[in-house]
């Protein structure tokens, strides 16, 4: 049993670190830096991103993002997600946690690195109105869409299976507007109402096609270790259940189901997330590094700079 649990924990940690045998160095490096970062322990960003509900949010975010043909074209044309899904997941986790827990210099560098990669992601796509368009991953509209879909998914998932959110949804939207600015998104939303207004403006551009169908199929059944497959199916069902009905309809996703049996999805997901939390340990390495940096700087228990 001990050997089984050790293997399971190793596989679980490997899923989120591209199979790194140890804690990735970048997480340990978050202990360094000269300020408290953009967010502190009492922030909505720490509460949301420190929760295992982010696993549900990540799935939902990718589903929603795929509905924009420009964003989908960039993923289809330039991403190796089907062959190397863990590498892409690890890169996304690194970006989120560096912005959340790193000092301001680390957060800025993380965004600059992503924007630099985006310069090479270009091509053409067909709009929902059947018009041919050129795209770049750094196009203002695409950056905004990804930012909005991210917040929508994290808010919805946090409500569904997460814990308390200091200041409520508006505080989280305002917190993550910092990430929007760092990613050159003009006028990112500061409230949940503004978020929904900006999302609504994208509705005419969204569509379902064979590329979206392929993405949904992949996200339903990614190549995970056997020990994680049932838990993942429950989390996928949770992501669908927590999703706004309009996006669920656009994605042609039915009422959540795990296998052939309809389960109380929220309750099942909370059990899975509790097991994951036990397996990974809390707080995670990124948060521990951030707290160590704040203690060194005399900021422990204070607001972020």
Q: With contact defined as beta carbons under 8 Å apart, do 65 and 137 qualify?
A: no
Distance, CA of 29 to CA of 36 (rounded, Å): 14
Number of neighbouring beta carbons within 10 Å of residue 23: 15
3-state secondary structure of 176: helix
Q: In 3D, which of 217, 236, 158 has the Cα closest to residue 192?
A: 158
* Residues near 272 by beta carbon (within 8 Å), at least 6 away in sequence: 231, 234, 235
| pLDDT value, residue 303 | 46
> Helical H runs in the chain?
2-15, 25-29, 44-49, 54-65, 69-78, 85-101, 104-118, 140-161, 168-182, 192-200, 210-220, 226-242, 245-250, 265-280, 285-296
3-state secondary structure of 265: helix
> Considering the entire predicted model, what is its pTM?
0.90
10-residue mean pLDDT profile of the chain (305 residues): values are 68 71 89 97 97 95 95 81 68 95 98 94 87 90 97 97 96 98 98 98 95 93 89 94 96 73 82 91 92 94 46
């Amino acid at each position: 049993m001990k050997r089984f649990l050790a293997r399971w924990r190793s596989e679980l940690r490997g899923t989120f670190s591209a199979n790194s045998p140890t804690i990735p160095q970048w997480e340990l490096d978050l202990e360094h830096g000269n300020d408290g970062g953009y967010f502190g322990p009492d922030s909505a960003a720490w509460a949301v991103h420190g929760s295992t509900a982010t696993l549900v949010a990540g799935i939902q975010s990718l589903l929603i993002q795929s509905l924009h043909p420009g964003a989908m074209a960039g993923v289809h044309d330039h991403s190796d997600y089907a062959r190397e899904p863990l590498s892409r997941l690890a890169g996304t986790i690194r970006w989120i946690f560096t912005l959340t827990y790193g000092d301001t210099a680390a957060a800025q560098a993380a965004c600059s690195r992503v924007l630099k990669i985006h310069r090479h992601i270009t091509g053409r796509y067909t709009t929902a109105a059947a018009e041919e368009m050129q795209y770049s991953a750094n196009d203002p509209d695409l950056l905004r869409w990804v930012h909005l879909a991210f917040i929508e998914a994290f808010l919805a998932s946090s409500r569904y299976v997460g814990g308390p959110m200091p200041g409520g949804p508006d505080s989280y939207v305002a917190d993550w507007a910092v990430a929007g600015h760092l990613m050159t998104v003009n006028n990112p939303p500061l409230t949940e109402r503004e978020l929904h207004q900006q999302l609504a403006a994208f509705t005419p551009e969204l569509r379902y096609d064979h590329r979206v169908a392929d993405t949904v199929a992949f996200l339903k059944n990614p190549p995970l270790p056997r020990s994680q497959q049932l838990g993942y199916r429950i989390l996928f069902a949770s992501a669908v259940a927590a999703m706004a009905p309009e996006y669920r309809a656009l994605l042609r996703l039915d009422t959540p189901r795990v296998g052939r049996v309809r389960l109380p999805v929220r309750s099942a997901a909370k059990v899975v997330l509790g097991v994951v939390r036990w397996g990974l340990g809390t707080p995670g390495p990124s948060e521990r590094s951030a707290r160590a940096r704040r203690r060194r700087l005399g900021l422990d228990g204070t607001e972020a700079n």
